[in-house]
Amino acid sequence: MREVVFVDGVRTPFGRAGEKGMYWGTRADDLAVKALQGLLERNPNLPLDRVDDVGIAATTQQGDQGLTLGRSVAILAGLPLTVPGYALDRMCAGAMTTTAMMSGAIGAGQYDIAIAGGVEHMGRHPIGIGADPNPRFVAEKMVSPDALNMGLTAERLHDRFPSLTKERSDRFGMLSQQKVQAAYERGEFQHDLIPVATRSANGWGLATEDEGRRPETTMEGLAQLKTPFRPHGRVTAGTSSPLTDGATMSLLAGGDTARELGLSAKMRMVGFAFAGVEPEVMGLGPVPSTEKALKRAGLTIDDIGLFELNEAFAVQVLSFLDAFGIDDEDPRVNPWGGAIALGHPLAATGVRLMIQLARQFEQRPDVRYGLTAMCVGLGQGGTMIWENPHFDGKKGK
């Protein structure tokens, strides 16, 4: 298979969804346009007419988040009309899937350069709005009604595994907030954020940072929060990713093409896998997808030196860690925090995980392999394994 490299990735700052969020007056497609323009500006050596395809994911494809986003956003961002594009939906793994599909096309020699990303404006387009699930899902007992509510699927993980206690989830949520704030103070995120002009009743503004962070979070405060998904439950707002607006974009290329054009290679793709599980325990999805990806790559979990796991819910990440015998506070896992603090704009998040892993690779020549993984609505999981081009065998295994 041809070498596939992750050349670069950027994102908008993530905003709180809803009328009080910074993107309430901003169109979803404009968030994607801004991210794509930022990506192109950072890579001036890229001949725009060499881009083979643009894939942009969104979970709720309607209104300003519809109309074949890959094509419409590419045109609005200034790519030549000869560059095609498409839209895709795999709920939370949308951007991960566009990245995987583009990587597969490059690896097979059908594409040389591709752009993959995602956008979600959950303020304008709440998950599931306008959808009409087939009643046979429930009537014929294919899935439980709980499966259509992500918060209830998280509660079911607590039910199924008594070792996944509320206290563990609360601590994981608190540490995510603290790690994100520490990373912000070190300047880890800022390099890859594309500022976005915003408009509200108060006039024009500029979004430069993620809006939903709560570094003041404490265990005592988390213990007092309500459990919105179930009376006397264990999942709270403090252990869940908030509803979020934002966009991500990545640039992928064949290794030979990147060298020809003088493009950097921040990561090399090793492989990817997607898998299905019972929809009622959606959060377990990354376990079989990771097992499948590792097997195909000829690796084991011990070969992975960095993990970027999406924090849809704290309990979901903890279930993954328990499945692979990894400690809750293993320093390899989400070293800069995750979606509980940063937010999770559904279809955009997969590339956010990659952006962070690529930046960490630059700082960690002792790490050879990293992994990005996430659970997906309706009972799925996705995993991508990456190799660090900066790896120095003298410093690590």
- Residue 397: pLDDT band with limits 50, 70, 90: low
> Which residue, chain included where needed, has tokens 């200034």?
78
Catalytic residue among 121, 125, 158, 375: 375
- Residue 396: pLDDT band with limits 50, 70, 90: low
Cβ distance 367 to 302 under 8 Å? no
Distance (Å, rounded) from C-alpha 105 to C-alpha 254?
A: 10
Query: For the segment 192-232, what is each residue's pLDDT rounded down to a tens digit?
Result: 999 999 998 888 999 999 999 999 999 999 999 999 999 99
Cβ distance 359 to 10 under 8 Å? no
Mean pLDDT within 153-179: 97
Q: Is 232 a catalytic residue?
A: no
Mean pLDDT within 143-150: 82
Cβ distance 242 to 343 under 8 Å? yes
CA distances from 256 to 14, 53, 172, 260, 263 (A): 34, 18, 41, 6, 10
- Residue 279: pLDDT band with limits 50, 70, 90: very high
Mean pLDDT within 242-261: 98
- Residue 130: pLDDT band with limits 50, 70, 90: confident
Residue 148, pLDDT > 90, answer no
Q: Is 344 a catalytic residue?
A: yes
Nearest of 15, 356, 23, 20 to residue 176 by alpha carbon: 356
CA distances from 179 to 10, 91, 189, 316, 326 (A): 20, 26, 12, 18, 18
- Residue 44: pLDDT band with limits 50, 70, 90: very high
Mean pLDDT within 123-135: 89
- Residue 1: pLDDT band with limits 50, 70, 90: confident
Topology given in CATH for the domain delimited by 144-187+270-387? Peroxisomal Thiolase; Chain A, domain 1 (3.40.47)
Catalytic residue among 121, 125, 158, 344: 344
Catalytic residue among 92, 121, 125, 158: 92
CA dihedral 64, 68, 71, 74 (to 10 degrees): 30
